[in-house]
Amino acid sequence: MLLKFVKKVEDTRRKQGQRFQLHYIIFFSILAILCGAEGYRDIERFIEVHFEKLKRKLKLKWRTRPAYTTIRNIIQGINKDSLEKAFREYSECLETLDNSTGLKCIAIDGKTLRGSFDNFNDKKALHVLSAFLSHEKLILAHQEVESKSNEIPAAQELIKELGVEGVIFTLDAMHCQINTFREIKKGAMMR
C-alpha cells in the first residue's frame, strides 16, 4: 500500500538515462531505515542483501543494484513538497478513530534534526514540526520551521493545513497564543 502512494511523488529527473525508478528508491530507503539504516551506504547494503528477493517480489527489471552515490543523488533531488503530499495522503488513508472515546488527539511537537547543520556553509540545523495522531501512533504531517523563525508560526500553518475538526491538540506551552487558538477554531469550522 505504501508503494502506491510513493509512486505519486513527482520525478523531476530527465527521462534520458534513468536506470532506477524513483518510487522504488524511496520505498527501499524507507525499508532500509526501518531496519536501522543511517546513511546512503546502509541503504545500498540493504538493497544488496535483499536484491534478488526484491527483484522477484516486485518484478523489477533492474540488471544491477544502485550504488550509494546514485541513491544519494536520487534522494537529494526529490521534490520535498511532492513527497510530503504523498506522505500526508498515505497517513490520511491509515487514519482511524479511537473507538473508545470517539475523539482524536493530535500532538504537535518540534525537533531539531541531528546532523543537519553545516558549519562550513554556516547553515543552522533543520528544525521540523510533526503532527502525531497519538492513539494510532501515526505521523500525519511535517512542517519545516523557517531558519529565521520559530515553532509558533509553523505550528499555526500546520494546524491550518490539517484542517481537522473534533480534535484535541496538544502543544508545548509556548503555543499558548491567541493566533494559534484562532487557527484551531478556523480548522474546526472548515468542514
Give the span between the Cα atoms of 139 and 133, in whole angstroms: 6
156 and 71 together in one domain:
no
Of 9, 36, 12, give the one whose Cα is nearest residue 23: 9
According to DSSP, residue 64 is labeled: S
What is the average pLDDT across 27-39? 91
The residue from 17, 48, 80 where one domain ends is 80
Same domain, yes or no, for 38 and 112?
no
| Domain residue limits at 14 | 2-80
Q: Which of 45-49, 109-113, 120-124, 164-168 has the highest mean pLDDT?
A: 45-49
In a domain, 88, yes or no: no
CA distance 53 to 68: 19
Question: How far is CA 61 from each of CA 19, 21, 52, 97, 182, rounded to the nearest angstrom?
Answer: 10, 10, 11, 40, 52
Q: What is the pLDDT of residue 119?
A: 63
123 and 176 inside one domain: yes
* Residue 87 forms part of a structural domain: no
Same domain, 101 and 167: yes
DSSP-based three-state secondary structure for 172: coil
User: What's 131's domain CATH number?
Assistant: 3.30.420
Sheet architecture: strand order including 127-133: 138-145, 127-133, 104-112, 167-170
**Structural domain includes residue 91:** no
CA distance 99 to 169: 18
- pLDDT, one tens digit per residue, over 88-146 is 888 777 765 444 456 678 888 888 877 766 666 666 778 888 888 877 777 888 888 88
Is it the case that residue 181 has pLDDT exceeding 60?
Answer: yes
Evaluate whether residue 25 is within a structural domain.
yes
